[in-house]
Each structure stands twice: as C-alpha cells, then as structure tokens.
Amino acid sequence: MYTPSSFAINDLHELQQQILGTRLAVLVTHGDQGLQASHLPLLFSPDPGPNGTLYGHFARANPQWKALQNGAEALVIFAGADAYVSPEFYPSKAEHGKVVPTWNYIAVHAYGTAEVFTDADRLRNLVSALTDRHEAGRSNPWKVTDAPADYIDGMLKAIVGFALPIQRLEGKRKLSQNRSAADIAGVREGLAASPDVHDQALAHLMR
C-alpha cells in the first residue's frame, strides 16, 4: 500500500483496533488460479505472534483455501471509514484555485501465511466464537448450540478453517494531513454537514 510518511499508522495498538473494528475483511491470495479474493468475517487475537493472529473459515467449495494450504502469502484488507473530499471544502480554493478532489480514508493491510485446519472441534470453537461476537448486544442472541447437533456437524464438514499469524502490518490514515490547518478544518466541517453517515463518521475521526 502506497503510504506517505504523514499518513502512516505506526502504532500497533491503533492498527489492531482498526482490525477489531472491521466486521468484514477481504482476504487476497495468488496461486495456481491467479489472484483470488474472499470477503470474510474474521476473529483477531492479539497474543499469538508479534502482530497477532487472524482466524476465519472458507466454504470448502471455495478453492482459495487451497492456496493457503500450499503456503501462499495472504493479504488481508481491513477498510475503515472513507469519504470523498470536494475542492469546495478548501478555503484555499477561493485564494488560488489550485485544488483538486481527493478521498480520505483509513485502511490496514495484514500479511502472513496461514495454517489450514479441518478438525471438527476446532472449527466448532471458531464458528461459535464468531457467532458470539456478532450476536453480542442482541436481545435474544443466537448460539451455535441452538441448532441441532447433527445439523451443525454436517455444516462443519462444509467449511475449512485457518489461522493466519500476522507477519507484517501496514496502516494508512489519510485525513488531509497534507493540507493547511484551514483546509483541514474546511474538510472536517464540510463532511460533518453532509447528510451521509459515512461522511459524518470520517469527519468525527478528523477531530
């Protein structure tokens, strides 16, 4: 990821918080079938490995897991808030007009090679943990044990799990740091006034 130094996220805790805050990641590999990408909910544990470990699963019918099994390096993309930045937000537009549109965003890229597993107990623990995470806060949270055991056993046979220790992390926080203080304030105010909740979320991060 192209990351000028002024946009780089170097704090490990901040990188990990972005990972934890991303509900659906994109896992990219290159193997015998070329580039492949899957959109996956993942679990993150900060303890194993220098940068933490990611856990997830593929449908067994998805051939991408075979690339991981063969040792392919994976890139996992965690996209955060983003917003279009109009030149109209910049006070400098009125001064000299030398402004163009851009995009503000936050993103984290994680790299590593994964261990693939099909052990039923390990898969059950994984899908239970994923379910508990995303059912948390619901008035009547569903649990894996709510379904018939033989049904879950059959579903587990249709997936392949993986554990991906993060060997390298890159983070980018592009929030107009390369602009003047007046232009940064103009972007923040312009996005905050937008009816779009995504724009408002990005404005909040610029405070």
Distance CA 9, CA 19 (A): 13
pLDDT of residue 95: 85
Displacement of CA 123 from its chain's centroid (Å): 22
Count how many Cα atoms sit within 13 Å of the Cα of residue 9 in the half-sphere of its side chain: 24
Handedness of CA 35, 36, 37, 41 (dihedral sign): negative
Q: Report CA dihedral (33, 163, 52, 204) to the nearest 10 degrees.
A: 60
Give the H/E segment covering residue 104.
Answer: strand 102-112
pLDDT of residue 31: 86
Tell which CATH classification among 2.30.110.10, 2.40.110.10, 3.30.9.10, 3.40.30.10 matches the domain 5-82+103-178.
Answer: 2.30.110.10
Contacts within 8 Å (CB) and 24+ apart, 121-124: 122/161, 123/57, 123/156, 123/159, 123/161, 124/152, 124/156
pLDDT of residue 200: 97
Percent of the chain with pLDDT over 70: 100
Using 70 as the pLDDT threshold, list the residues of the chain that sit under it: none
Distance CA 80, CA 206 (A): 13
* Residue from 160, 165, 70, 152 nearest 111 by CA: 165
Q: What is the greatest pairwise CA distance in the chain?
A: 70
pLDDT of residue 155: 97
pTM value?
0.93
Give the H/E segment covering residue 160.
Answer: strand 159-165
Distance CA 159, CA 153 (A): 11
* Residue from 123, 110, 112, 117 nearest 65 by CA: 117
Q: Six-digit token pair at 52?
A: 């933490």
Distance CA 46, CA 10 (A): 16
- Give the helix ranges, DSSP H, for 38-97: 64-69, 92-96
